[in-house]
Amino acid sequence: MWFNLAMKFPFQKIAIIGKHKTPEVAAPLLRLAKFLSSKKLSVVVDSLTAEHLKDSPYPSMSLAEIGGTVDLAIVLGGDGTMLNIARTLSQHGIPLIGVNQGRLGFLTDLTLENMLETVEAMLDGKFIEEQRLLLAAKVMRGDVEVYHGWAFNEVVVHRNYTSNMIECEVLVDGEYVYNQRADGLIVTTPTGSTAYAMSAGGPILHPSLEVFALVPICPHTLSNRPLVIKSSSVIEILTHRTSDIHIRFDSHTDYDLQEHDKIVITRHPSPVCLLHPVGHSYYHTLREKLLWNQTL
């Protein structure tokens, strides 16, 4: 757990960010903006979100401008929206509150129904602060870095759907771990352990853990298992005898790899700061979202 020195409280300037290209976000967003304004707080709206607002009285800013300006960002959307915003704003130390308009909502734990009363309590300091790991990855082609990116959930090296299995060599802190022949390999944070990695048979990792997991996708072996390592590790993935292979960051951005490219994955120095309402429980979220409460 980190202490977030960058967080400014009480919050004075708040950004509201909605799910991109979703017109139905307009009504709850404007309701929230009006509520915040009534509290004498300064409100700005993400410029892409503002395109769906008619006659909005609130100024708009790009995400880059928001990063250096506001004290808090409230995100209306699903986990996919939060992933994108978290990667962008984490370097500025801006805390995030998520309002769920998606399906699962592991990261967005407020509902539209309780949004205003919960936000009001959180503005009064009644919240739980949580710091979460972020991944950084770069693609080396020889001695040249040809691409880099960040991921909140996972970095995935995978084959195209029409190509053969990929073959890669994996090292951790310079030590050889294994050669992998599979459909792909997921390097996941604890946050991402309930996403793609879980579908591939990986372990669920509590978000307070400072670890990563390596989860193979359909490995061509009977003995391969997910591997959990410390978050300070340097992971190297070397691609061998393969073509039509990609690296993907949180399902948002991807890059075409070439044979013999090396992917170097480390912990990003800036964590993501999430704010939850008092009483938030990760185990409750698991029970609710994974339907563990249902009996046969």
Q: What is the pLDDT of residues 223-250, one digit of tens each?
A: 878 999 999 999 999 998 777 899 999 9
76: which 2 tokens? 């209306």
Looking at the structure, tell me whether residues 249 and 276 fall in a common domain: no
Split at pLDDT 50, 70, 90, the class of 133 is very high
What local confidence, expressed as pLDDT, does residue 104 receive? 65
Number of residues that this document lists for the chain: 296
> Does 149 share its domain with 263?
yes
Tell whether 91 is covered by a domain.
yes
Nearest to 87 by CA among 154, 156, 20: 154
Provide the pLDDT confidence category of residue 3 given band limits of 50, 70 and 90: very low
Residues 55, 58: Cα–Cα separation, whole Å: 9
Q: Is the pLDDT of residue 2 over 60?
A: no
Q: What pLDDT sits at residue 66? A: 94
Residues 158 and 125 in one domain: no
Domain hosting residue 36, numbered range: 13-132+271-289
In a shared domain, residues 150 and 95: no
Checking if the pLDDT of 272 tops 90, the result is yes
Pairing of strands 227-230, 235-240: unpaired
Residue 79 among the catalytic residues: yes
Establish if 296 belongs to a structural domain.
no
Co-location of 124 and 18 in the same domain: yes
Same domain? For 144 and 113 the reply is: no
CATH number for the domain including 37?
Answer: 3.40.50.10330
Q: What average pLDDT does the chain have?
A: 91
Name the range with the highest mean pLDDT among 72-81, 169-178, 277-286: 169-178
Q: What is the Cα–Cα distance from 280 to 286, expressed in whole angstroms?
A: 12
* CATH number of residue 259's parent domain: 2.60.200.30
Is 217 in contact with 184 (CB distance < 8 Å)?
A: yes
Same domain, 194 and 92: no
Give yes or no for residue 130 having a pLDDT over 50. Answer: yes
pLDDT tens, position by position, 140-194: 999 999 999 999 999 999 988 767 889 999 999 999 999 999 999 999 999 999 9
**CA nearest neighbour of 120 among 272, 11, 204, 7:** 11
230-241 in b/e form (b: 16+ CB < 10 A) is eeebebbbbbee
Whole-prediction pTM: 0.92
Q: Is residue 141 part of a domain?
A: yes
Q: Is residue 4 part of a domain?
A: no
Our count of domains for the chain comes to 2
Same domain, 175 and 220: yes
Q: What is the pLDDT of residue 175?
A: 98
Strand-pairing partners, residue 75, are 17, 98
Say how far apart CA 118 and CA 120 lie, in whole Å.
Answer: 5
Whether residues 245 and 126 share a domain: the answer is no
Active-site entry in 46, 55, 71, 79: 79
Please say whether the beta carbons of 212 and 191 come within 8 A.
Answer: no
Q: Taking the C-alpha atoms of 103, 108, 109 and 114 in order, what is their torsion angle to the nearest 10 degrees?
A: -90
Mark whether 184 and 250 lie in a shared domain.
Answer: yes
Among 32-46, 104-118, 144-158, the least confident range:
104-118
The two structure tokens encoding residue 63: 């995400």
pLDDT at 71: 95
